[in-house]
Structure 1
Amino acid sequence: MTLDMGFDALKNAYANTELTPEQVMADIRQRANSYSDYNIWLHLLSKAEQAPWLDALAQKDPATHPLWGIPFAIKDNIDLAGIPTTAGCEAFAYTPEASAQVVQQLIDAGAIPVGKTALDQFATGLNGTRSTIGPCHNAFNPGYISGGSSSGSAVALALGLCSFSLGTDTAGSGRVPACFNNLIGLKPSRGLLSASGLVPACRSLDCISIFAFNTDDANQALAAAEGFDPSDDYSSANPFGNQARHYGKRAGPLTIGIIPQSQLQFFGDDDYQQAYAETLEALASEGVNLVEIDYAPFAEAAKLLYEGPWVAERYLATQPLIDDNPEAIFPVVREIIAPGGAPRATDLFTAEYRLNGLKRACQAQIASVDCLLTPTAGRLFTIEEMLDKPIKRNSELGYYTNFMNLADLASIAVPTQFTPAGLPFGITLVGQAFSDRALLSIANHIQALFPLNKGTLPYPTKPSNTAPTANPNTIDVLVCGAHLQGLPLNWQLTERGATLKAKTQTAPHYRMFALAGGPPFRPGLIVDKDKGAAIEVEVWTMPIQEFGSFVAGIPAPLGIGKVELENGESVCGFICEGYGIEGAQEVTHFGGWRGYLAAQNKS
């Protein structure tokens, strides 16, 4: 019987001595032979090649190595020490002495490489047919494309030949294959994962991506793989709000942006169109608020990736091969890359100017919702259809994906449906840069609503659907006096990007006093469960990076503490030190600061 290759299943089997990593790897190698005609592997590691990593597990404690014995596949444009990297082109091949930083960190966490997987040559394509060993076949129906360029990595996971896998994603290569093979496909924020040891496609845009069966596994793999790399000029430190500890089901009702019907494209695939509609219906029935956004700036940005000067980056990545030995490059790939030597610097700046405006329009719309939701792809083509019109249909595959890195966004592909023909369909969630854990948390919730199996395996995904957590990128602040909307200090909130969340009252055990000093005049709020009352307040949501400067400007005797609302929730809010109310006038009976000011104006 096929093994359950999910993280928890393997960890439990190891802990109960039902399996050893050596047995798992031997089973993978045996089963891989039965899928040889799927064109998954460019280099499947032998027992001898794998031995050093398996032997090293004896010195690693599973309790401190979160990926102990977990097998993973590596797209063959990412370095694994001592194993050739080809990027799908033998004439380009080299053997690295060191692994890519991401690969090494995964190994350090206890993960075991299985092999190097097939790809659209030089990661140029979204379909999986641009390989010298032949098309990589879909895990569910070999007559259909696998998606690309991370084709082998997706199919290997879907067939249970690893527990997670690494792809790359410049234009959608880590999401389209996830959709077509019933997988989670995480395209991290640019710079979150080091690109050291990655053969570039477009160096300024490239991301190493992660395929997993569920969001729990994706989060664990991401936690082991992420980390600032000073040798990578595009690497970025992960902010506090995007750390692994913030993964969990999003709190409160979700508001998700969707594309208007007039801007959707399914390219003749009625089954995919119906699967998308059913996905939205299911989300709406679960209380998700779906609001339309304008997809035009996203679609225009997507066109720039291949129709603009960024193709010059692909040209640079393949030099000197494209100049000295162009016949070594797969014909369709060569046709795409060769014009990259022609764009002028003026073309680049013209495109950059336009892109900057498009990015602003895209990011402004995403900022207004918890995330954007799109179909991951509009159509799943047969291999025959793809080979008939390789460039046109590849462009159609990128309609919902090509804009992502140009607009500096994070995204995750989530499977939701199967068509009547038994083919997988999925959606993609899109968020601001470094919203990866927030997206994973929303994806966790959505995956729980659409219970599917792990790839082609007969085991349910079973995401944890963890306890609710607040959005780690913002903080709610309760105000009760001069910071109320329309009052003299409200600018201290609005100029920090804070937005009004609620007008409400405190729990009925607070007293309010008009403090000495001013203008502006301020109240002091203190707890008194015996003589207190409910006080009118406002709750504002503030970007967390602005909170420190806001608190630093609060004068004594005021400060920030926890204030209880009428619904029992506690939020950060203004409180007053006890000494501050000595000699102050009590104004509790006015019900709030506005009531007190109104009474003063009448007198």
Structure 2
Amino acid sequence: MTETVAEIVAAHRGGATSPAQTVARSFQRIRDHNDPAVFISLRDERQALAEAEALSSKDAAQLPLYGVPVAVKDNIDAAGLPTTAACPAFSYLPAHDATAVARLRAAGAIVIGKTNLDQFATGLVGVRSPYGIPTNPVRGDLIPGGSSSGSAVAVSAGLVPLSLGTDTAGSGRVPAMLNNIVGLKPSLGLISTSGVVPACRTLDCVSIFALSVDDAMTALGAVAGPDAADPYSRNRPLAPMTAFPNGLRLGVPRNGQLIYFGDKASEQAYGEALKRWTALGATLVEFDLEPFYETARLLYEGPWVAERYLVIRDLLASSPDAIHPVTREITLAGARLSAADTFAALYRLQTLRRVAERAFANIDALVLPTAPTAYTTAQVLANPIELNSRLGTYTNFVNLLDLCGLALPAAIRPDGIPFGITLLAPAGHDARLASIGRVFHADTGLAMGAKGLPQPPLAALTAGASNDEIAIAVVGAHLSGMALNGELKALGGRLIEAAVTAPDYKLYALPTTPPKPGMLRVAAGAGTSIALELWALSAASFGNFVAAIPPPLSIGTVRLADGRGVKGFLVEPADVGAARDISAFGGWRAFMAEKVAV
């Protein structure tokens, strides 16, 4: 069965099935699933199939999401489909894809439709939408979780293998737990939020739902990267995943600090998860959770509610009845906050951030329940605000403290309710969480999603540079067998792997002796994927190598197709001049081979 992203891409590249067949399967599954509350809008199937068929003209090896169907939360723009944020009165037709969606398409993904959400991404429950309540496919009486309800259900139910959500207070993590899937909440600024309807603009991030950690990281590699259109974007090169580390130290709250609201089954499941981590070789280290709780209270008791008010204040003034009553009640509180309240909260948050930094001084990551308990739809409808707040116990503080997170399935409780844990680390450590999280998920042996799909064996990770080495990407005369490769070998260089860049570059033949290329970075998705090699050098050799590089070449950060950022050869726009654009060759070796043939 080809259900994961990795399996689907392999089947497409190997010719066992085609992207169009996989896309058609997704549409058929959506019809068969017959839950109109999952998607707010679907693409025309013929249009999606045509886009899938057009991929045959591209190099599948350079498309990490080649023919993969994806769903997009309906507060993220996808050209050709309305963006509603689950509010019909707010709906508009975007002229362009959000940056994250554009990068998915550039990586070969096919957008299937826009998914339901808690209106304006306000809620962790998935029941605050005029488009209905998606049925939880794991246990039908449970809430689907929010705000990214439709995106999580679509993956769990097998309608698509991958989807985008958003996460401000836990909307990429709570639905993952309740649907028995992986939820990746990246570092703030790692994925552009350009083209995303904001909830709290300073805290929002695009999140990823998948059946496995590896699939989520493949998607993250495709969409991550700086974006000039997003002032909150950060240049955070994505490191590669590594083997499970020795000496892993995981933070767990002090005895008595965890809250389960009386749910003994969740408490027991968390204890079993900690035993699993210990068996995997991790050391558990206690930390004080109280400052994190205090930070969480700031989110809805402090001025960040005013950010939600800013987004819909015009609609609140003109058509208040167009807004879900619970969303309206929560958001109106933001109009009453003063500038003094805002600064007081910012000062307190800065103090709490310093406390959190100290907590991470001697641990690699925190491991917490994703949510303390689970509720039925009937329970939440009867007590919407209090129960929603409880679900955010371990999620509300994360973006305020600038942490990255990875929500993982941990168990199916005896009552059939999924339980999950979340790994948390300071921003920039997304790959570290994935490296350990993938091993934990595999060790659980849990089926994936709601369809009982067995987990595939963990894929072997590509060997990278060791701790005392630096990886460098070479694109021209330093490639294996080329004129200057001996310089790398003389410095003790070691070939790691062949790779390709993200489709963000152009390659030029520079008028140098010996002939060399110049690789120029252009707008995301506006260039070509360029073939290269990664070589490992000791730190001293790297310094010597870089010092000897003649102009017009220089060393900068090169983004690979899988999202990694590595040091490599680049050229400035001013140095290209009248040089020949050879991007169509896909690399220097192919260009030189043609020259020899001629």
How far residue 36 of structure 1 moved from its aligned partner, in angstroms, is: 2.8
2:150 corresponds to which letter in structure 1? Answer: G
In 2, the alpha carbon distance for the partners of 1:264 and 1:217 equals 31
**Partner of 1:170 in structure 2?**
168
Q: C-alpha offsets along residues 220-276 of structure 1, whole Å, 9 cap, x if unaligned?
A: 10000011101101000014xx33xx2122321211001123111111222211111
2:350 maps to 1:330:
no
Q: Does 1:273 align with 2:267?
A: yes
Contact 2:166–2:205 under 8 Å retained in 1: yes
CA distance in 2, matches of 1:196, 1:467: 32
Instruction: Report the alpha carbon displacement of residue 319 of structure 1 after superposing the two structures with TM.
Output: 3.0
Residue 190, structure 1, aligned to residue 184, structure 2:
no
- Is the 1:105–1:225 contact (alpha carbons within 8 Å) kept by the matching residues of 2? yes
- What is the CA-CA distance between 1:52 and the residue it aligns to? 4.6
**Pairwise CA RMSD:** 2.1
Select which of 71, 76, 79 maps to 2:77.
Answer: 79
Which residue number in structure 1 is paired with residue 498 of structure 2? none
> Any idea what SS the aligned residue of 2:227 has?
coil
Contact between 1:248 and 1:444, CA under 8 Å: does it hold in 2?
no
Which residues in structure 2 correspond to 1:443-454 (within 5 Å)? 443-454=437-448
**2:148 is matched with which residue?**
150
- In structure 2, the residue matched to 1:396 is 390
Deviation at 1:374, TM superposition (A): 0.3
**Which stretch shows the higher mean deviation, 330-339 or 264-273?**
264-273
Q: 1:470-524 deviations in whole A, cap 9, x for unaligned?
A: 999x869xxxxxxxxxxxxxxxxxxxxxxxxxxxxxxxxxxxxxxxxxxxxxxxx
Counting only pairs closer than 5 Å after superposition, residues 277-356 of structure 1 correspond to structure 2 as: 277-356=271-350
Distance 1:264 1:320, change over 3 A: same
Of 260-269 and 61-70, the range deviating more from structure 2: 260-269
CA deviation vs aligned residue, 1:515-562 (integer Å, no higher than 9, x gap): xxxxxxxxxxxxxxxxxxxxxxxxxxxxxxxx99xx99xxxxxxxxxx
Pairwise mapping of residues 196-235 of structure 1 onto structure 2 (< 5 A)? 196-235=194-233
What's 1:574 paired with?
Answer: none
Deviation at 1:30, TM superposition (A): 1.9
Aligned position for 2:567: none
Matching residue of 1:577 = none
Would you say the 8 A contact 1:444–1:465 is kept in 2?
no
Structure 1 window deviating more from structure 2 (201-210 vs 319-328): it is 319-328
Q: Is the 8 A contact 1:249 1:444 kept in 2?
A: no
Local SS of the residue matching 2:143? coil
Code of the residue aligned with 1:7 in structure 2: it is: V
Cα offset, 1:423, TM superposition: 2.0
After TM superposition, give the deviation of residue 302 of structure 1 in Å. 0.5
Are 1:442 and 2:440 an aligned pair? no
| Structure 1 stretch displaced more, 360-369 or 166-175 | 360-369
Q: 2:37 aligns with which of 32, 36, 39?
A: 39
> C-alpha distance in 1, partners of 2:45/2:268?
46
Cα offsets for 1:60-111 (capped at 9, x unmatched): 2111111110111100000000110000000000001100011001101100
Aligned to 1:20: 18
Decide whether the 8 Å contact of 1:74 with 1:116 is kept in 2.
yes
Q: Structure 2: which 5+ runs fail to align?
A: 470-538, 545-598
Separation in structure 2 between the aligned mates of residue 207 and residue 227 of structure 1, nearest angstrom: 13
Report % sequence identity: 45
1:262 aligned residue: 256
Deviation at residue 465 of structure 1 after TM alignment = 5.9
Aligned twin of 1:67: 65
Tell me the amino acid that sits aligned with residue 344 of structure 2.
Answer: T
| Partner Cα separation in structure 1 for residue 461 and residue 87 of structure 2 | 47
What code does the residue aligned with 1:276 have?
A: Y
Number of residue pairs aligned between Structure 1 and Structure 2: 474
Counterpart in 1 of 2:100? 102
Contact preservation (8 Å) 2:125, 2:143: yes
State the Cα distance separating 1:464 from its structure 2 match.
2.3
Secondary structure, counterpart of 1:81 in structure 2 = coil
SS, match of residue 288 in structure 2 = coil
8 Å Cα contact 1:248/1:465 also seen in 2:
no
Shift of 1:32: 1.2
Counterpart contact for 2:246–2:281, Cα < 8 Å = no
Question: Which of 344, 350, 357 is the matching residue for 1:363?
Answer: 357
One-letter amino acid of the counterpart of residue 285, structure 1: A
Measured against aligned partners, the alpha-carbon deviations of 1:273-319 in whole angstroms (never above 9, x if no partner) come to 11111111122233211111100010100011111010000001113
* Distance in structure 2 (CA, Å) of the matches to 1:17 and 1:281: 43
- 1:413 aligns to 2:407 (yes or no): yes
Secondary structure at the aligned position of 1:127 is classed as: coil
Against the structure 1 CA distance between its residues 65 and 465, is the aligned structure 2 distance closer, same or farther, given a 3 Å change threshold? closer
- The one-letter code matched in structure 2 to 1:174 is G
Q: For residues 375-412 of structure 1, what are the alpha-carbon distances to aligned partners after superposition, in whole Å with 9 as ceiling and x for unaligned?
A: 00011100011111110001000000000010011110
SS in 2 for 1:332: helix
For 1:260 and 1:38, locate their aligned partners in 2 and report how far apart those are by CA, in whole Å.
Answer: 44
Specify the code of the residue in structure 1 equivalent to 2:292.
Answer: F
Amino acid at match of 1:317: V
TM-score by length of 2: 0.76
Which amino acid in 2 is paired with 1:324?
Answer: S
Question: Residue 541 of structure 1 aligns with which residue?
Answer: none
Say whether the 8 Å CA contact 1:311–1:337 is kept in structure 2. yes
Aligned-pair CA distance for 1:444: 1.5
Offset of residue 457 of structure 1: 2.8
Q: Which one has a bigger Cα radius of gyration?
A: 1
For the residues of structure 1 that align with 2:435 and 2:179, how far apart are their CA atoms?
21
2:127 is aligned with 1:140: no
Counterpart code for 2:253: I
